[in-house]
Structure 1
Amino acid sequence: MANTSHIPAEDQLTVGTRFGYALGSLSTGAFGTVPGLLLLPYLTDTLGVGASVAGLLVLLPKAWDVVFNPIAGRISDRTTGRLGARRPYLLYGGIGLAITFAALFAGPDTGSATVDALYVAFVFLVCATAYAFFQVPYNALPAEMTTSPKERTSITAWRIAVLAVAILICGAGAPAVRDAVGGLAGYRVMGIAVGVLILLGAVGVFFGTARTRVAQPLPSVAGWRETVAAVRDCPPFRVLLTAFVIQAVGIGTLLAGVDYLARVGLGDKSWQPLLFAAFVGPALLVMPLWQRVGSRHGKRSGFVVASLVFAVGLLGVLGARVFPPVLIVLFVAVAGIGYAGLQVFPLSLLADVIGNEEGRTGQVRAGVFAGVWTAGETLGLALGPALYGGILALGGYVSSTGESVAQPSSAITAVIIGVALVPALFTLAALPLLRRKELFS
């Protein structure tokens, strides 16, 4: 709970509002986790698509969002009505996301890997578009709910706590549902189950933020040229976004590799739920710790420490072929502690940057900046599976249509490097940007 003793009454958020807003993370967590975790294995080990091609199929539909997310932000900026600029999209975008996600794993099963893969690519494109209309307003809302940096940190912590639960449910539950049913039917049942969770999150955040104040409308950025100018004129946003996207590539690579790490690296797919629980579970415990670190030492310093903890944990996973699996799980848990901080600090800093820039310019920046931010996040998380698919291809990974296939030693090495070393390097690569102390509080 945030200390609200020095926060003006109009900027204080109730527990119900914090929780209501956080429920949206059920939707973002599900969509952010399951495609990155299971879509690549679905293509390579069920539809029989080559690893490099599968990586591109995961990337290309999301690359569309890099163009479309800022458009969604401008659309929401210019929306007026009694529900405000953001909340209508939380409901309608969320419903569309739930339906299209269930359809993603419900392909026609034509027997042709090419046709089935093209179906996945098309539906994923539609799904990503619906997600843009949900995620962009969702990211923009905190800057308009309160002007207090402390309250923004608090609501972000609530959001990340629910996000951790969503990732835990989806990361452990989705593969379990898939494996319990088996085959294509398993993927279809899993898709429907996750779609229901996305729907619950969308409805929950819509009604949970019903008492949120509607911000005073301000002049909005009108087009691409103005969007580029707004980003160019805000160095804190540019630096924060660049650091976040670099790390998102690493996180996307990690998520894409967890299924392969369990099945190929550790030799037993039953380790996958435990790996995900170890990765996400600590977030529920250490969130208050990261809040205290941010309050005492600053959000920038907290961001740096979280990055280092995340990287150290992943580097330990490089010993997957030598260390016992239990020790690998412990290293993943260390990475999970850092991952919690990598979620809290960038989003909290984003709300601060938006608020400061709107105060400086007198123009709405929430939707535009949230749109650009979401585009960057989407691109980073999509590049991760594409990169991982390329690494698997270089290692000689053998795709299949469901049967068990013995992988060469080079493929096993590629699985481990892609899930451990590559994410750690991307995370560390962002640290020089975070040293620019003048940009962050």
Structure 2
Amino acid sequence: MTATGLPRRVHLGYALGSLVTGAFGTVPGLLLLPYLTDTLGVAAGVAALLVLLPKAWDVLVNPVAGRISDRTRSRWGARRPYLLGGGLALAVLFAAIFAAPFGTGPAAGAYVAVAFLATATAFAFFQVPYVAMPAELTADPAERTRLMSWRIAVLALAILVSGAVAPAVVAAGGDGVPGHRWTGLFVAALIVAGTLGAFLGTRSAPAGTVAETEPSLRAQLAVAGANRPFRALLLCFVVQSAGVATVLAGVKYFAGQVLRDPDGGPTLLFACFVGPALLVMPLWTRVGARAGKRAGLVAASLLFAAGALALVASPVLPAAGVYAVVALIGVGYAGQQVFALAMLPDCIAHDTARTGRRQAGVFTGVWTAGETLGLALGPGIYGLVLQLSGYVSSATGVAATQPASARLGVLLGFSVLPALLVAAPVVLLRAYTLPAAPVAPFERGVPTR
């Protein structure tokens, strides 16, 4: 480590891990539900369960992965062995999700559920150690800020590339099963690149001090639950993640049924949703510098909700107007991610200072379990809305002609539903308070208070 903090190669190496988290956090939520309903012919309600249950499994396995990595002692440190093993396994299993060895129908749906369950497990053993690392790489809050700013920049780029390109790869590959197979391989390649980049790029980073841990997983979970700021932030983020995930799950349906542009619409919608994250970081930096992280998160959430509600008017708006509103939602989404991810390490560092125990793995295990649950609930809820509104599934790779009720369900699930899920939980943030600490106010784009 240099006099000015961690070496630049560590910043970049750690940030490259966001290629993994960004791709896996985006593409299944964007493509898996329509893949099941419009390519494999699975009923919307059943497809919702097939998407929800494997990711809900992570609620159990993520804290376990955190505890295991907390207790790991190796020449590579506690976290890096899991970056390599979990990331490479994730790449192979992700490609397997879209391999479709059983063609279409119920057997194909069951295969996807099993493959997705295995993939979610591998992701847990990458994600939890990865998210735990910043609290241990340095004790300097300003240095954690710099580290997080690199991560968020790469995360935004990863989400934009994987989410915008994946639908285009499906189309270029011939749609249907062949197109999705190519997409599985494309995303697997991104995951391998991120895995190797994070593992090799952090090889010179300090592993952190191995401090005393709580004697059992139950005791560690009790500590995390007793941390009032962490608990408030987590509950808010879980519900908001479900709202964000309903938008991702609805992109392809909304483009086809409301915008009547099933080919280019998904890519444009996703680019408008995620693209602003690369442009508005300085704006949210100034908001956080003036008002603090919590106020920034509230403002970003309300902006997201207002834009989502405006989409109710999409059937009478020109396409350009719809894309502009989606970009406004993307501005709010960028702020949500910045502030929530910057507030988490503060909670972890505060708990470590208070207890003297090494809890980063468990806190991030609980956090990622909650985030994963929220991201799984979004497509599940959206699929349920489709089922209740009478959506007609197809095994041809092309969406069937839908009744008016189904088109209304597509619209409301993409607008009113995410607005409610993102706006309502901000009241929980009233319980988020941390003791004043001598931290640097801002550095390089991510707020530290």
Does TM, normalized by the shorter one, top 0.5? yes
1:54 aligns with 2:47: yes
Q: Matches of 2:265 and 2:371 in 1, distance apart?
A: 28
Q: Matches of 1:372 and 1:234 in 2, distance apart?
A: 12
Q: Is the 8 A contact 1:74 1:222 kept in 2?
A: no
The correspondence of residues 192-207 of structure 1 with structure 2, limited to 5 A, is 192-207=185-200
Please state how far the C-alpha of 1:155 moved relative to its aligned partner: 2.2
1:364 aligns with 2:377: no
Q: Matches of 1:188 and 1:29 in 2, distance apart?
A: 19
**1:76-100: CA deviations, max 9, x gaps?**
0001122111111111110010000
Q: Matches of 1:37 and 1:347 in 2, distance apart?
A: 22
Q: Matches of 1:158 and 1:232 in 2, distance apart?
A: 29
1:77 aligns with 2:70: yes
Q: Secondary structure at the match of 1:340?
A: helix
1:436 aligns with 2:436: no
Please state how far the C-alpha of 1:437 moved relative to its aligned partner: 5.5
Match of 1:379 in 2: 373
Match of 1:256 in 2: 249
Match of 2:395 in 1: 401
Match of 1:211 in 2: 204
Mark the CA change 1:222 to 1:95 in structure 2 (over 3 Å): closer, same or farther.
farther
2:346 maps to which of 339, 344, 352: 352
Match of 1:3 in 2: none
Match of 2:163 in 1: 171
Q: Is the 8 A contact 2:304 2:419 kept in 1?
A: yes
**1:227-270: CA deviations, max 9, x gaps?**
33112321111111101101011011111001111011111111
Match of 1:147 in 2: 139
Mark the CA change 1:90 to 1:11 in structure 2 (over 3 Å): closer, same or farther.
farther
Please state how far the C-alpha of 1:370 moved relative to its aligned partner: 0.5
2:235 maps to which of 235, 238, 242: 242
Q: Is the 8 A contact 2:228 2:431 kept in 1?
A: no
Amino acid at match of 2:433: E
Please state how far the C-alpha of 1:9 moved relative to its aligned partner: 6.6
Please state how far the C-alpha of 1:395 moved relative to its aligned partner: 1.0
Q: Matches of 1:149 and 1:421 in 2, distance apart?
A: 38
1:300 maps to which of 275, 294, 304: 294
Q: Matches of 2:428 and 2:377 in 1, distance apart?
A: 20
Q: Matches of 2:142 and 2:423 in 1, distance apart?
A: 27
**1:105-139: CA deviations, max 9, x gaps?**
0021344x111111000010000000000000111
Percentage identity across aligned positions? 55
TM-score normalised by length of structure 1: 0.95
Q: Secondary structure at the match of 1:430?
A: helix
Unmatched tracts of structure 1, length 5 or more: 1-7
Q: Matches of 1:321 and 1:422 in 2, distance apart?
A: 17
Q: Matches of 2:98 and 2:343 in 1, distance apart?
A: 36
1:232 aligns with 2:225: yes
Match of 1:18 in 2: 11
Q: Matches of 1:11 and 1:356 in 2, distance apart?
A: 23
Mark the CA change 1:431 to 1:72 in structure 2 (over 3 Å): closer, same or farther.
same
Q: Is the 8 A contact 1:252 1:381 kept in 2?
A: yes
Segment of structure 1 superposing worse, 95-104 or 180-189: 180-189
Q: Is the 8 A contact 1:11 1:148 kept in 2?
A: no
Q: Matches of 2:88 and 2:213 in 1, distance apart?
A: 27
Q: Matches of 1:132 and 1:396 in 2, distance apart?
A: 35
Q: Matches of 2:213 and 2:79 in 1, distance apart?
A: 14
Q: Is the 8 A contact 2:27 2:163 kept in 1?
A: yes
Q: Is the 8 A contact 2:229 2:431 kept in 1?
A: no
Amino acid at match of 2:333: Y
Match of 2:438 in 1: none
Q: Matches of 2:200 and 2:120 in 1, distance apart?
A: 23
Q: Secondary structure at the match of 1:218?
A: coil
Amino acid at match of 2:151: R
Q: Is the 8 A contact 1:220 1:365 kept in 2?
A: yes
- Equivalences, count: 433
Q: Is the 8 A contact 1:52 1:389 kept in 2?
A: yes
Amino acid at match of 1:405: A
Q: Secondary structure at the match of 2:401?
A: coil
**1:373-417: CA deviations, max 9, x gaps?**
010001000010000000011111110112442111111111111
Q: Secondary structure at the match of 2:279?
A: helix
Q: Matches of 2:377 and 2:344 in 1, distance apart?
A: 22
Match of 1:332 in 2: 326
Amino acid at match of 1:14: P
Amino acid at match of 1:422: L
Match of 1:160 in 2: 152
**1:39-82: CA deviations, max 9, x gaps?**
00010000100001100000001111100100000000001122
Amino acid at match of 1:136: V
Match of 2:420 in 1: 425
Q: Is the 8 A contact 1:221 1:368 kept in 2?
A: no
**1:122-174: CA deviations, max 9, x gaps?**
01000000000000011101111122333323322221211111111111111
TM-score normalised by length of structure 2: 0.93
